[in-house]
């Protein structure tokens, strides 16, 4: 269950992501995401990317 403190933490994460990518174009973000291990490990199978990959993101 999501608590109010969780919501604030999530908003902080979203703000960080916004600031990090605000000057990036869509194709640049796409290229960055496709360089991530999560994408490379799941691309051929067209499978959903497990949330656990979030801890290994290199672009943030």
pLDDT of residue 7: 64
State the pLDDT confidence band at 30, using cuts at 50, 70 and 90.
Answer: very high
pTM for this prediction: 0.69
Residue 28 is predicted with a pLDDT of 97
Average pLDDT, the chain: 88
The full DSSP string for 8-59 is HHHHHHHHHHHHHHTT--HHHHHHHHHHSHHHHHHTTTTPPPPGGGGGG-S-
Pairwise pLDDT comparison (40 vs 9), residue with the higher score: 40
Confidence (pLDDT) at 59: 81
Q: How far apart are CA 9 and CA 30, in angstroms?
A: 25
């Amino acid at each position: 269950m999501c608590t109010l403190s969780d919501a604030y933490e999530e908003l902080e994460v979203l703000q960080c992501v916004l600031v990090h990518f605000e000057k990036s174009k869509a194709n640049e973000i796409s290229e960055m995401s496709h360089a991530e291990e999560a994408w490379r490990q799941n691309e051929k199978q067209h499978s959903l990317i497990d949330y656990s990959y979030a801890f290994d993101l290199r672009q943030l």
